[in-house]
């Protein structure tokens, strides 16, 4: 519960920081009436774009929700778990704000099932995460998908603890 609350708080903070576009849309008629004021804000926007590499650090900051790059799945399912939705949505918002960035969503499975079945299931998992990224604001062309099936396990055990770590889709920035 604390993780979900913390995740929601981080998403709210990220959303508050990214509120420039909705504010611009809401103030569009006022901006047309005050042409010089709109020109004055252009350098500020250029400065914000020039400092965009600083925002990339959020991807590496262990305290940021963006440092989490995996969504996990239940056995034989391709629906993102509720507790992982804020992570995927935060990456979708990040991609929306950084249109020059691209990701590859890598679908994975545990060792149970045939290779063919696991490749198909891994693809469905990757596609589910891609769909959520796009709904959250990422451009469809920013996201590619691939399935590794059971070929790239995160955990090597042969029990539920290991299998639950291997049933995932990873968001890999290019």
Residue 135, domain CATH: 3.30.1330.60
* In a shared domain, residues 72 and 125: yes
Positive or negative torsion for Cα 18, 23, 24, 25: positive
**174 residues of the chain, pLDDT tens digit each:** 555 555 554 555 445 445 444 433 333 333 333 344 444 444 444 444 444 444 446 888 888 999 999 999 999 999 999 999 999 999 999 999 999 999 999 999 999 999 999 999 999 999 999 999 999 999 999 999 999 999 999 999 999 999 999 999 999 999
pTM exceeding the 0.85 threshold for the entire prediction:
no
Claim to verify: residue 87 and residue 134 sit in the same structural domain? yes
Tell me how many domains the chain contains: 2
Angle between helices 52-60 and 35-50 (to 10 degrees): 40
- How far is residue 159's CA from residue 92's CA, in Å, rounded to a whole number? 32
Pair (45, 71) in one structural domain: no
Same domain for 47 and 95: no
User: Alpha helix (H) ranges present in the chain?
Assistant: 2-17, 20-26, 28-33, 35-50, 52-60, 85-97, 115-135, 160-166
The verdict on 88 and 34 lying in the same domain is no
Same domain, 47 and 68: no
pLDDT the model gives residue 137: 96
Distance CA 133, CA 91 (A): 7
DSSP conformation class of 103 = E
In terms of domains, do 92 and 149 share one?
Answer: yes
pLDDT of residue 19: 43
Residue ranges making up the domain that contains 158: 60-173
Same domain, 28 and 69: no
């Amino acid at each position: 519960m604390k993780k979900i609350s913390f995740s929601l708080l981080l998403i709210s903070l990220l959303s508050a920081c990214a509120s420039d576009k909705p504010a611009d849309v809401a103030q569009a008629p006022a901006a047309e009436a005050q042409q010089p004021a709109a020109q004055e804000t252009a350098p500020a926007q250029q400065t914000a774009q020039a400092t965009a590499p600083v925002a990339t650090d959020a991807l590496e900051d262990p305290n940021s929700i963006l440092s989490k790059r995996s969504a996990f799945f239940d056995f034989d399912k391709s629906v993102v778990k509720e507790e992982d939705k804020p992570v995927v949505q935060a990456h979708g918002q990040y991609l929306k704000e950084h249109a020059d960035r691209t990701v590859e969503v890598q679908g994975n499975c545990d060792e149970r099932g045939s290779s063919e079945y696991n490749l198909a299931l891994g693809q469905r998992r990757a596609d589910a995460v891609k769909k959520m990224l796009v709904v959250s604001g990422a451009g469809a062309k920013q996201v590619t998908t691939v399935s590794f099936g059971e070929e790239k396990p995160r955990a090597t055990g042969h029990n539920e603890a290991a299998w639950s770590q291997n049933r995932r889709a990873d968001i890999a920035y290019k």
